[in-house]
Amino acid sequence: MTVSTILKTKGNDVVSVGPEDLLSSVVDTLASRRIGAVLVLDSAGAVAGIMSERDIVRALSQDGPRALDKPVRQFMTADVVHAAPSDSIASVMEKMTLGRFRHLPILDGGRVAGIISIGDVVKRRIDDALHEAEALREYVASAG
């Protein structure tokens, strides 16, 4: 099972902001889109960073409300770990666990192909477990 299976149901849409966007606008975006992180893309569309709700908490703790008037680039994580559509779901779980983050951008030959969250991964694992249990039940019923 690979990341592309998740992207097939989830789609390739990625909510992004620019490095110069103000933190206040990122707060609005996260709230209105009901998501926990946005990708920061530069003017060429390349990944410049990732900004999650955790970074916003840290920014507010550090700078107080003034942080909201500062650009995203001051608070984002610039060293972004990513995965490819062909990567296994087990390997992305490992990346998220080891890196202690809940979001993983998916890049396909340098192009942003989507973003998956730990919630997407857990949902997929639960769906797979339910299908496997159903297949085993059917097998046992037909064998009996």
What residues line the site for ligand AMP (CB under 6 A)?
36-37, 50, 52-55, 77, 80-81, 99, 101-105
How many C-beta atoms lie closer than 10 Å to residue 23's C-beta? 24
Residue written as tokens 């840290």? 58
CA neighbours within 13 Å on the CB side: how many for 68?
6
Instruction: For ligand AMP, give the closer residue by CB, 59 or 124.
Output: 59
Give ∠ CA 8-125-47 in degrees, rounded to 5: 50
CB of 86 to ligand AMP, least distance (A): 17
Instruction: For ligand AMP, give the closer residue by CB, 88 or 144.
Output: 88
Q: What is the CA radius of gyration of the chain?
A: 18
With H, G, I as helix, E, B as strand and everything else as coil, classify residue 48: strand
Instruction: For ligand AMP, give the closer residue by CB, 57 or 130.
Output: 57
CB of 52 to ligand AMP, least distance (A): 3
CB of 140 to ligand AMP, least distance (A): 40
CB of 31 to ligand AMP, least distance (A): 15
Instruction: For ligand AMP, give the closer residue by CB, 37 or 89.
Output: 37
Quote the CA–CA distance of 124 and 106 in Å, as a whole number.
16
